[in-house]
């Protein structure tokens, strides 16, 4: 059974970017008792997130994992906001927008003029430098990385990333908040890909190289890596879940940040698929085809 935490570290939070990650973070924050103000550049995305989360909570009620009252309370804690100006009273703002340095820098510069002096700012970036994202802030010490994994409610680890100027008190508060949401915080230094994507990109790019050299097909590589190495998802299943429009820029960013280190070199196979819009599960086709949510190996 899910319980709201008595006194969350942050009661009133803002979430900018309500796509796959933003809605997952909103879910666990609302379940922990926070009021979550939702903002997205596309107003329809906020509504889509609220609808999806209501459905998720209804399913949890049906499975007996949540009471109907708790589900209603969680839904009521989601507050749609038409723009970042509405986040003035938030004690924490988490950003889960597009993975582009300029977009994240300008968002935080704008937020700095809106939120109170003690508000904490957090980025869910997978691969960009937290230090660089904070470099346009007057008070970069209040910005930290807060890197969740997809799907957020199930993936219990969150990397709490300390940029060069981040205050230790800020990362400590975020770590405490992660625990209140039922997650396990792991402290990471601000290096390209932090811990998981530093290790994980090698796994993905090597699998793409194996496929590119025609050693085996995607499904075989997935199966053998799961069976023999104990991974929960194969590399191509993971790419389909994340979607190439999200993961290819991450691969490129880590490669360039490590000065074109060969082991991180992105793959033309992934680049071509991205160019063709065959990006993953969310569009019904990636390395696999998805029929009624079930992965099928293309002929
Ligand atoms: P998404 O594409 O599902 O959602 C992004 C949302 O942000 C969209 O609704 C879009 O309209 C909105 N948006 C874009 N620019 C905006 C702006 N300037 N202001 C307000 N809203 C804006 O992307 P997803 O997968 O949720 O990723 C978001 C962030 O989380 C990225 O930085 C990504 O690298 C990171 N991340 C993604 C993971 C994944 O597996 N999908 C895992 C961990 C981190």
- Model confidence over 118-152: pLDDT tens digits? 999 999 999 999 999 999 999 999 999 999 999 99
pTM: 0.92
Kindly give the residue spans of alpha helices, DSSP state H, lying in the chain: 20-31, 43-62, 68-76, 101-112, 130-133, 168-180, 196-212, 218-229, 235-242, 244-257, 268-275
Within-domain flag for 236? yes
Within-domain flag for 4? no
Q: Are both 31 and 106 inside the same structural domain?
A: yes
Pocket test for ligand 1, best of 15, 16, 20, 103 (most atoms within 8 A of CB): 20
ipTM, two decimals: 0.98
Structural domain total, the chain: 2
97 Cα–ligand 1 center, Å: 4
- Per-residue pLDDT tens digits for 24-77: 999 999 999 999 999 999 989 999 999 999 999 999 999 999 999 999 999 999
Distance, CA of 128 to CA of 193 (rounded, Å):
7
CATH number of 67's domain: 3.40.50.720
26 Cα–ligand 1 center, Å: 13
Q: What is the mean pLDDT of residues 103-111?
A: 98
Q: Confirm or reject: Cβ of 196 under 6 Å from ligand 1.
A: no
Q: Are both 203 and 282 inside the same structural domain?
A: yes
Within-domain flag for 100? yes
Within-domain flag for 2? no
> Which atom of ligand 1 is found nearest the CA of 106?
18
CATH number of 220's domain: 1.10.1040.50
Q: Confirm or reject: Cβ of 194 under 6 Å from ligand 1.
A: no
Q: Are both 156 and 260 inside the same structural domain?
A: no
Within-domain flag for 62? yes
Within-domain flag for 298? no
Q: Are both 258 and 167 inside the same structural domain?
A: no
The answer to whether 51 touches 78, Cβ cutoff 8 Å, is no
Q: Are both 154 and 233 inside the same structural domain?
A: no
Q: Are both 233 and 151 inside the same structural domain?
A: no
- Catalytic positions are 126, 147, 159, 197
* Vertex 186: Cα angle to 183 and 192 (nearest 5): 125
Q: Are both 40 and 150 inside the same structural domain?
A: yes
Expressed as residue numbers, the domain containing 262 is: 196-286
User: In which element (H, E) is residue 146 found?
Assistant: strand 143-147
């Amino acid at each position: 059974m899910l319980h709201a935490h008595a006194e969350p570290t942050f009661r009133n939070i803002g979430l900018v970017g309500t796509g796959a990650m933003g809605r997952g973070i909103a879910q666990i924050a609302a379940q922990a008792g926070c009021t979550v103000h939702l903002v997205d550049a596309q107003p329809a995305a906020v509504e889509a997130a609220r609808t999806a989360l209501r459905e998720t909570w209804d399913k949890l009620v049906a499975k007996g994992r949540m009471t109907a009252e708790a589900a209603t309370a969680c839904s009521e804690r989601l507050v749609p906001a038409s723009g970042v100006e509405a986040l003035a009273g938030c004690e924490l703002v988490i950003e889960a927008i597009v993975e582009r340095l300029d977009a994240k820098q300008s968002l935080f510069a704008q937020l700095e003029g809106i939120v109170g002096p003690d508000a904490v700012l957090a980025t869910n970036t997978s691969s960009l430098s937290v230090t660089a994202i904070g470099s346009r802030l007057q008070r970069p010490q209040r910005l930290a990385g807060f890197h969740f994994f997809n799907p957020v409610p199930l993936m219990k680890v969150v990397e709490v990333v300390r940029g060069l100027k981040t205050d230790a008190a800020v990362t400590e508060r975020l770590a405490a908040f992660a625990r209140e949401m039922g997650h396990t915080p792991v402290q990471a230094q601000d290096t390209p890909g932090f811990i998981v994507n530093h290790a994980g990109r090698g796994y993905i790019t090597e699998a793409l190289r194996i496929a590119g050299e025609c050693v085996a097909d995607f499904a075989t590589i997935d199966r053998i890596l799961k069976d023999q190495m104990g991974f929960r998802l194969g590399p191509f299943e993971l790419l389909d879940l994340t979607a190439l429009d999200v993961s290819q820029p991450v691969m490129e960013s880590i490669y360039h940040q490590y000065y074109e280190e060969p082991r991180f070199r992105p793959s033309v196979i992934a680049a071509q698929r991205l160019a063709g819009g065959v990006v993953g599960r969310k569009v019904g086709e990636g390395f696999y085809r998805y029929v009624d949510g079930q992965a099928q190996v293309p002929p």
